[in-house]
A = this chain, B = another copy of it.
Amino acid sequence: MSTQTADHTDIRATNLAAVLGFLRRQAPCSRAAIASGTGLNKATVTSIVGDLLDRRLVRETQQTQNHVGRPATLLVLDGSAYAAIGLEVSARGLSALAYDTAGEQVLRWHRAGPGVDAGPAKTIAALAALARRAITTVQSSGRRVLGITVGVPGLVNRDGAVVLAAGLGWRDVALQADLAAALGRPDIPVNVDNDASLAVLAEHLYGPLAGSENLIELNGDTGVGAGIIVDGRPLRGHLGYVGEIGHLRLVADGPVCGCGRRGCLEALASLPAILSRIDGLTDPDPQIQLEHLIRRADAGEAAVTKVLAEAGTHLGHGIAALVNILNPGYVVLGGSYALLATHLSPTITKSLHESAIAPDAGGCTIVASTFPHTATPLGATAQALAPLTMGHLPSLA
């Protein structure tokens, strides 16, 4: 933001965001500590804290600082008034997560999906039922829902429509509009974004790699997609269709992909592609199939570890394309890839280092996500809270 073009409202929001950010990292802390930490003057801090107290976004606590002197009035984040809901649609099922504004988890649910064959209408109905239940649960905890964001494995346009989700068999599904209509709650903003773009936001904000400036999260639960943080910012691109590494053609005349082409990374190394190559996984729930797969791989069953090693080789070639173009510091294996990381990583690393042009793969480290089940809905709650994080207060109820 350039100082000379900022108007008063912008400055107020910027300052409010700075105070909230400082509290998130440093609370409990005094008004004086906020002032010195943010460089804002004390009157401004007092005024902003007043607004935050009014909305129950912070609360006061009596505490002795540094174990000496009289107790000072310190401030902490208050999560009792507001929360955000993150949802995820994947071949593994539907997930819901809610976090309050103090960073406490309010609920976390997973249910077996209606299945990829169910079609979008049935899935949206199930998602709406899950969202309604989540809203009720958040509200009965006394909190207002500030927003709902849904992650889906596909191309999402600026209207929240899913232009293409090959792994779900969806094309031109007006998810945001349909879900909002099904909920009938115009007071709660509904947004839709790509699952990997949300997952990488969770990695960028929370967990061991928080703050990494060049970070990619690879998710293969349904299709294969990459969420990308470059130079400290989420990559958006011209229309938001970024990170679609799943349709890189790796094998001429390879297996048919959901997109209609052949030999795509997704057709070779997505979780559904891996599961389809393992005999004896008969449970209809892909989540249970995954658990069986992990158990048999951990037991060292040769046919299973061979399929995973081959998938790792393909993933390494795909990651090499990302590395050659984007030079990330980290590639995070997300979702089921994180759960399978010990089996995938050796061949991923080998083929990455063979295919990457920069020495030592440009300093790229492959790590497993510490949020294998929740990165997407967690990133979705962060996105639903983004207006507040940017300093825009919810209206007083």
> In the complex the two chains form, what is the Cα distance from A6 to B238 in whole Å?
31
Within 8 Å of chain B (Cβ to Cβ): is A328?
yes
Q: Which residues of B contact A236 (CB under 8 A)?
A: 230-231, 327
Mask of A155-182 contacts with B, CB within 8 angstroms, 1/0? 1000000011010000000000000000
Is B244 within 8 A of A329, CB to CB?
A: no
Q: How far is the CB of A197 from chain B (nearest CB, A)?
A: 11
Known interface pairs A230-B237, A242-B326, A327-B240; A39-B357 also in contact (CB < 8 Å): no
> In the complex the two chains form, what is the Cα distance from A87 to B213 in whole Å?
30
**Least CB separation from A228: chain B residue:** B325
Within 8 Å of chain B (Cβ to Cβ): is A347?
no
Most buried by B among A214, A228, A317, A327: A327
Q: How far is the CB of A22 from chain B (nearest CB, A)?
A: 10
Q: Which residues of B contact A5 (CB under 8 A)?
A: 38-39
Q: Which stretch, A66-74, A247-255, A277-285, A295-303, touches the partner chain B?
A: A247-255
Is B327 within 8 A of A248, CB to CB?
A: no
Q: Which residues of B contact A63 (CB under 8 A)?
A: none
> In the complex the two chains form, what is the Cα distance from A39 to B243 in whole Å?
39
Is B324 within 8 A of A248, CB to CB?
A: yes
For the side of the interface on A, what is the size category? 35 or more
Copies of the chain in the assembly: 2
Within 8 Å of chain B (Cβ to Cβ): is A128?
no
**Least CB separation from A358: chain B residue:** B241
Q: Which residues of B contact A3 (CB under 8 A)?
A: 1, 3, 6, 11, 14-15
Within 8 Å of chain B (Cβ to Cβ): is A116?
no
Within 8 Å of chain B (Cβ to Cβ): is A91?
no
Q: How far is the CB of A147 from chain B (nearest CB, A)?
A: 23
Is A325 within 8 A of B359, CB to CB?
A: no
Within 8 Å of chain B (Cβ to Cβ): is A364?
yes
Within 8 Å of chain B (Cβ to Cβ): is A322?
yes
Within 8 Å of chain B (Cβ to Cβ): is A115?
no
Within 8 Å of chain B (Cβ to Cβ): is A198?
no
Known interface pairs A238-B363, A325-B326, A357-B164; A4-B245 also in contact (CB < 8 Å): no
26 pairs across A/B with beta carbons < 8 Å?
A1-B1, A1-B3, A2-B14, A3-B6, A3-B14, A4-B14, A5-B38, A5-B39, A163-B358, A163-B359, A213-B238, A214-B238, A226-B325, A228-B325, A231-B237, A238-B327, A238-B328, A240-B327, A241-B324, A241-B362, A244-B357, A244-B358, A246-B357, A249-B317, A252-B252, A259-B357
Closest 4 CB pairs of A and B: A237-B327, A238-B329, A244-B324, A241-B358
